[in-house]
């Protein structure tokens, strides 16, 4: 197998392909996608769950029970006894650093990746 079979354009293609692979690795393996969800109730960590398994978690708060759903590596608050339902309407969280807060019931879900980044709430 000789290098004489590779023409100039082929080198270009090879380089393009390598750049694609490197970009894919950086994009998909950098831990930007969240690995787990941290569920807090009343300011204390209630549970840390992996996003790998689909499940529903019931979290008790002062007003009642908030239900948190994990599905397809995403998490959301499926139901909440709060009056305005802001956290429910926020929908699915997918990226590390995203957070949904149910203030009246003092329940929150935060997604974290392999390394914790700054977020607008803490920074």
Partner 1 sequence: MRIENSGSEVEDRGSSSGLTSLHAPRSSLLLKATAEDHHVARMAAVALGLTLLEGAIPSPLPGVKPGLANIVTLIVLARYGWRTAAWVSLLRVFAGSLLFGNFLTPGFFLSLSGALLSLLVLALAQHLPARWFGPVSHSIYAAFAHIAGQMAVVYLWLIPHAGIAYLIPIFAAAALVFGTVNGLLAARFMDNAESENNSASEKHT
Interface with partner 1 by CB under 8 A: which residues? 1-2, 5-10, 12-14, 17-18, 20-21, 24-25, 28-29, 33, 52, 72-74, 94
CA distance 56 to 34: 18
* CA–CA separation, 25 and 15 (whole Å): 15
Tokens 């949904």 sit on residue:
100
Shortest distance, CB of residue 53 to partner 1, whole angstroms? 11
Q: Provide the token pair at 37.
A: 């969800």
Q: Are 70 and 55 a contacting pair, CB within 8 Å?
A: yes
Q: Min. distance of Cβ 3 from partner 1 in angstroms?
A: 9
CB nearer to partner 1: give 20 or 45: 20
DSSP state of 95: B
Which is nearer to partner 1, 25 or 121 (by Cβ)? 25
Of 25 and 65, CB closest to partner 1: 25
């Amino acid at each position: 197998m000789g290098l004489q079979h590779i023409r100039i354009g082929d080198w270009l293609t090879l380089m393009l392909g390598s750049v694609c692979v490197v970009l894919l690795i950086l994009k998909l393996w950098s831990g930007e996608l969240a690995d787990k969800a941290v569920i807090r109730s009343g300011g204390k960590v209630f549970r840390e769950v992996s996003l790998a398994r689909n499940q529903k978690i019931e979290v008790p708060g002062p007003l009642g029970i908030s239900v948190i759903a994990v599905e397809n590596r995403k998490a959301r608050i499926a139901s909440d006894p709060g009056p305005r339902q802001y956290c429910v309407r926020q929908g699915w969280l997918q990226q590390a650093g995203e957070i949904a807060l149910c203030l009246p019931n003092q329940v929150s879900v935060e997604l974290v990746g392999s390394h914790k980044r700054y977020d607008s709430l803490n920074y």
